[in-house]
Amino acid sequence: MGKVAVGTAVVCAAAACAAAALLVRHQMRSSGRWAKVMAILKDFEEKSGTPIAKLKQVADAMTVEMHAGLASEGGSKLKMIISYVDNLPTGDEKGLFYALDLGGTNFRVLRVQLGGKEGSVAKQEFEEVSIPPHLMTGTSEALFDYIADALARFVATEGEGFHLSPGRQRELGFTFSFPVRQTSIASGTLIKWTKGFSIEDTVGQDVVGELTKAMERIGLDMRVSALVNDTIGTLAGGRYSNQDVIAAVILGTGTNAAYVERAHAIPKWHGLLPKSGDMVINMEWGNFRSSHLPLTEYDQALDAESLNPGEQIFEKLISGMYLGEILRRVLCKMAEEAAFFGDTVPPKLKIPFILRTPHMSAMHHDTSPDLRVVGSKLKDILEISNTSLKMRKVIVQLCEITASRGAQLAAAGVVGILKKLGKDTVKDGENQRSVIAMDGGLFEHYTKFSVCMEATLRELLGGEVSENVVIEHSNDGSGIGAALLAASHSQYAEVEEP
């Protein structure tokens, strides 16, 4: 070996040594980082834990709160609002009715031609209109004007197959999916906005009055005959086709439940209308809260920074508006404290609500061996590239923890309702089916969520009882339901003789 050659070898060896040292240091650093990532994951998993015993406590707490909310006004976080719906659709309804569904990112307008017992729903049409974000936090006038305008345009396209009886005014069922203090079947005042809507000075506002004024401003002659929410609409729509429907649960942007209560079991109703029979109760269960709920630091921060801190805690654990945001918050912590995505925190990851539940669902359902969908979502939404398979697996685990916690809590809520109705046990000689009508984009599209929810429900109820409990997807029953309720509460409906 010549002198030059030796020199080169020494330099090379030194470089190799330095490189090896760097690699070792890098590995040590990255294994330290990785340990931190796993610690955050594990901690999140533990704090989110929903063992069966805990779910049973949640179900019991739901039942207790239902009793308390029915007993007195303000007796519980659960408002247990009397809907004034005591005549669910029978199938005899006839005529042309409209419905308007507001309460999420989109609103829908819909018309149905009802043909009575034989004809049922002879024809229906709907249109979906998105709400510009600035109207969600603007003035109520601007919001209602926009809605009335869309409704008027829709009415203008009324064509063949729809017949308004001569001399009649068009009637509308208004599905307004925000908490409302109902004052009659067709009137109510706003308790608060939720699901990202925040419009000042509107609490206590007469919701139907606002819509009616907006319709008058543009010369649309239409009467609101029923004011309901998506949950009651879904219950009514479900009942129309299946008389065993006893409750409805919405899992969409928000979450809520309604059920059919025996009127005599409603203490706060005393003196109001001493009528026997059934009454639909709008639980507003999104506002349920209990010390048994598995709240993590991420949930607490999400709540504190939300438009409605301290409220809608159950909804913030379960519904489509929040699941993706919870995931983002955990990823943020991993990025900040464990350099999960490298030395800097990806700027997009810091933007609240950038990661939507449909994105999360797409990642969660990724079945490709290299988790390609996870990779592409991270890239497209968060501008994070070069993620390893190991990292992608962590993200899928986070989706699993977040979604199954929500699904299991929703199942516990349903058990709470069944308990309240005494339908959580098998009674001798009774083989009555209990059908829960379900709707909402989360339930409909997030398969792992709905599968987990059903499995948990079965587990909580046990074999024998769960045979009689049926979860039924009532696809967009709420719009039809509102139209049906407008029909059964029509100003032209004959007054029945007692």
Burial of 74 (0-12, 13-18, 19+ CB in 10 A): exposed
**Nearest-CB residue for ligand ADP:** 104
Q: Which of residues 226-245 bind Mg ion (CB under 5 A)?
A: 230
Of 442, 441, 439, 443, nearest to 454 by C-alpha is: 443
Active site residue 206: no
Rounded CA-CA distance 233/239 in Å is 10
Q: Per CB under 5 A, does 479 bind Mg ion?
A: no
Q: Choosing from 195, 333, 419, 420, which is the catalytic residue?
A: 195
- Report the nearest approach of ligand ADP to the CB of residue 363 (Å): 10
3-state helix, strand, coil in the chain (%, to 5): 50, 15, 35
Q: Where are the beta strands (DSSP E) in 185-240?
A: 187-190, 222-228
Q: Per CB under 5 A, does 252 bind Mg ion?
A: yes
Nearer to Mg ion, 50 or 256 (CB): 256
Phi-psi region of 234 (alpha: psi -120 to 50; beta: other; left: phi over 0): alpha
Give me the DSSP letters along 50-92.
--HHHHHHHHHHHHHHHHHHHHSTTSSSS--EE----S---S-
Site residues, ligand ADP (CB under 6 A): 103-105, 252-253, 320-321, 357-358, 361, 440-442, 445-446
Give the dihedral sign, CA 437/443/447/453.
negative
Residue 357 contacts which entry, Mg ion, ligand ADP, none (Cβ below 5-8 A, type-dependent): ligand ADP
Nearer to ligand ADP, 254 or 416 (CB): 254
Residue 238 contacts which entry, Mg ion, ligand ADP, none (Cβ below 5-8 A, type-dependent): none
- Report the nearest approach of Mg ion to the CB of residue 206 (Å): 22
Q: Per CB under 5 A, does 104 bind Mg ion?
A: yes
Residue 253 contacts which entry, Mg ion, ligand ADP, none (Cβ below 5-8 A, type-dependent): ligand ADP
Active site residue 195: yes
**Chain Cα centroid distance, residue 276:** 32
65-73, 96-104, 141-149, 342-350 -> range binding Mg ion (CB under 5 A): 96-104
- Report the nearest approach of Mg ion to the CB of residue 283 (Å): 16
Rounded CA-CA distance 333/323 in Å is 16
Q: Choosing from 101, 145, 192, 230, which is the catalytic residue?
A: 230
- Local structure of 258: helix, strand or coil: strand
Q: Per CB under 5 A, does 476 bind Mg ion?
A: no
52-60, 97-105, 147-155, 285-293 -> range binding Mg ion (CB under 5 A): 97-105
Instruction: Please work out the total of residues on this chain that contact Mg ion, with binding judged by CB under 5 A.
Output: 3
Residue 438 contacts which entry, Mg ion, ligand ADP, none (Cβ below 5-8 A, type-dependent): none
Of 484, 376, 464, 481, nearest to 423 by C-alpha is: 464
Quick check: 353 and 381 in contact, CB under 8 A?
Answer: no
- Report the nearest approach of ligand ADP to the CB of residue 203 (Å): 21
> Which residues carry out catalysis?
195, 230
